[in-house]
Amino acid sequence: MTQPDREHAAVITVSDSVSAGLRVDMSGPAVALRLGQMGWSADVLVVPDEVAAISQEIARLADSEKYAVVLTTGGTGVAVRDVTPEATRAVLDREIPGIGEQMRAEGLRFTPRSILSRGIAGTRGRTLVVNLPGSPTGALQSLDCIVELIPHIVDLLNGKTEHEPAGETADTMRTS
């Protein structure tokens, strides 16, 4: 198994209206721009709100070993067509519940509706997968609150398990 490019991401916008050409994608390009500001390259794709389409695209991108991170935007709410978490869960090897918890907690600083986001995160192979909300503002706020963790997670997924402490003491430092 080869290692994915450490600073290359894919952004999947999950939207029926964007995939049908009825609406312009705002969240995917916003997330890609933020990643670019951080020195990452990002490819943006669009799929409809269909479990099979979302699952297949996440699996295809992660299994390509080209991307260290696959981010989705959209489909994380409670509407009937919001199926991104279910589609993501179907293709993950392991979940990382703390990421979704952190994004929702951070969102509460801006809107009480953030608790309606059901976004999850986890790994598939050596790729981190994270569901971001569909609004550009929510997607960027969520990404911003976890962005410092991403390089550490990518390192761990690629076998680099020895790290400098990040504000921990020797007594409190954890590697997993």
Instruction: Identify the CA nearest to 58 among candidates 108, 105, 102, 92.
Output: 92
Encoded amino acid at 13, one letter: T
Q: What is the pLDDT of residue 35?
A: 96
* Block mean pLDDT (10 aa), the chain, length 176: 75 97 97 95 97 98 97 97 98 98 97 96 98 97 96 95 65 53
- Give yes or no for a contact between 148 and 117, defined as CB atoms under 8 angstroms apart: no
CA distances in angstroms from 65 to 9, 68, 167, 172, listed in the order given? 11, 7, 31, 33
What structural domains does the chain harbor? 5-157 (3.40.980.10)
Measured distance CA(13)–CA(49) in Å, rounded: 9
Global pTM value: 0.90
**DSSP 8-state symbol, 4:** P
Q: What is the pLDDT of residue 162?
A: 81
Encoded amino acid at 83, one letter: V
